[in-house]
A and B are shown apart, each in its own frame.
Chain A
Amino acid sequence: NAGVTQTPKFQVLKTGQSMTLQCAQDMNHEYMSWYRQDPGMGLRLIHYSVGAGITDQGEVPNGYNVSRSTTEDFPLRLLSAAPSQTSVYFCASSGGGWGQETQYFGPGTRLLVL
């Protein structure tokens, strides 16, 4: 099992550019989520999904879109990048049911917006 994988590892964007952060898991988990991590702020939830075709907003969703067409993949789209979106992004997954709340994280994508 590869667990949770994320690509790219590092990306530099210019303000206004768009991009997609990829996330995939091979554990057949129903629940997937995206977090951003900023110094002094801790991990904050952006969007999450409880299964294919179902997504919802987290604490800091503005400027980001998600979709979930398969159980395995949960891409995060930045529509028009802003310097405030410079951060480290983590994808996570879990079984989602009672007793399966433990989330497993990917290695992260470091994003710099100039």
Chain B
Amino acid sequence: EDQVTQSPEALRLQEGESSSLNCSYTVSGLRGLFWYRQDPGKGPEFLFTLYSAGEEKEKERLKATLTKKESFLHITAPKPEDSATYLCAVVHYGGSQGNLIFGKGTKLSVKP
């Protein structure tokens, strides 16, 4: 069964305390992996797209990496404004065109 699993479910950090979020996937033929940020009461906001193992993308304090089985979202020296739920999703060749399979998300809280 095609599946996306995110861990941990929730993560509490102190401001400046770096950490990583994990997204593992079991799909037949990855076409793309996506990271989104979602604030309470808002729609998911696009962060990164990764297409192949070894690929890395960076944006401010965030860095996303991809292997053949999982992706990591590294957060360096986080600030309180980084608090949000981070969602991972995949598109694969076996699925219908463009359809995303989402994980359940990691809720990040950064305390000052």
A interface, CB within 8 angstroms of B = 4, 31, 33, 40-45, 48, 50, 56, 58, 90, 92, 94, 96, 99, 101-108
Contacts and interface: CB of A to CB of B under 8 A. Distances in A.
Q: Tell me what chain B mostly uses at the interface: helix, strand, loop, or mixed.
A: loop
B49 A42 contact: no
Contacts, number: 62
Contact of A107 (B31, B42, B89): B42
Nearest to B49: A102
Contacts of A41: 104
A40 B104 contact: yes
Given A42-B103, A42-B104, A104 B98 contact: no
Interface residues of B, number: 24
A31 B104 CA distance: 23
Nearest to B51: A99
22 contacts: A31-B98, A33-B98, A33-B99, A40-B104, A42-B87, A42-B104, A43-B87, A48-B98, A58-B96, A90-B44, A96-B97, A99-B51, A101-B32, A101-B98, A102-B46, A102-B49, A103-B100, A105-B43, A105-B44, A107-B43, A108-B42, A108-B43
